[in-house]
Structure 1
């Protein structure tokens, strides 16, 4: 088996070759590798290129350089999927560490989702978001125009920030409670009470945020929940040590008093919470997600695009619509 460090360099060389619109030589590859933080000389690059040629991943065009083959493109795509699997959970963990929201003062950094709607649909979308706040994390939002210096907003759109439920993980961590995002899923509701998860995706096993996947599939019925108390909403689960469950309950109750709520259950003594598996000696914390209000907008037929777990904002900069 090839050394993992060599494999990483081979993948990066393939990536450089695939990004070129013409055959590229060893010297140019070595220069670009240097720009990307790899200390690999031209001679070493030639050695790696011979390995790629032998595997059929690259094709040599005489002195002009190499291009990637169809087999190499397939191999690169699989490698990039592996990178993206790491990226999703790494990105989430990075934002979790930046949360410093204090429920007693109502101030500090929270994680937000960013959604985009057409300006012509904005008024209708805001009406729905306001009504759906009871199945979301917080009733507060922030708005961004096309000229916003904070985030890129496409022409003709309005950006809408909603509080993300991963904020809970950050608050738990700041209270010295180890926490790990576990699943995102569809939670069945009956008579305003959670029943069971009908679908789950692990945060550590997908190259796309699980909540974004469900938003694209549109399997929710948030509007039915708002009208009848029964239907399907988005929720996620994180795990904490059983020994920290009582303390976590107090922390999450203080969050709810500060308008950051949506927590359903802390448990898992029987091995699951609402059907979501929980490891031995761990408790699962199930929370409704902040984009349930956005899911309701989509259910109403209003086109909306969302980037869950997008960035950090000061909670005091958000407001009631």
Structure 2
């Protein structure tokens, strides 16, 4: 028997429970992992609160731990290997959050040995999302300005680090002036506090009137119009989320006038492609090993307080990744 995070109805963090469940043997192409740490994602909250599912449902995409059992036709792993998980599967098919997890072998990687369990659980979702958007899609280069709304999120911080690694200029957007100093310390070249600063004016000042070549936005809503106003002619706007509860307004004539590329992006388009996934994992692992990239962890919760971890996620107060540790 193993403790697994489950929910029997959609709702807020309080619907999550820890239940004792008998863990099956891994099937063909699967690996069973004794988890040591779990990464909490916005997608977990969306699944828990909004998406219809068969109940009871498990949850979770990211974790680190040790290989406990190996299914038929799986090669390249041995019992006891330290591994972490790439989000490239449906969490309802392979729920990861709990003391034991069974995952497709294609989602399991040996993470850089320099990382703690908590850092490994905070690695792949955020960096793969930022890498796929900024490096693959936008072809971010030295000297480019990239605007990063929700910059204190784990993906936002990953984007700042990746932009810095290629010599680009990351400009962080945040709703809270209390996060300004921290975002500068984490590598942002400048911070624009929405609601206090005039976003378009400030971004035009920072780019000498040229505008930002890349905008990496998980928010949408009315602010998208201002972001398009601050984009450079020929620039790329990448939308990878819809955190705003308000309708998204697209100023079509301005987008056409600037010849903008507006790209809807999801990380699964990268992680479910074998060749692209390998290239991305190799790039990130190398940068981590060289200490160019470093997962930023906001808060660590014990497994028995999984509800608290989700409440922290939904507070919007975090800077970096929320991680849950699993007792041995």
How does the TM-score come out when normalised to structure 1?
A: 0.21
- Structure holding more helix per residue: 1
Bigger RCO of structures 1 and 2 (CA < 8 A, at least 6 apart): 1
Larger Cα-atom Rg: 1
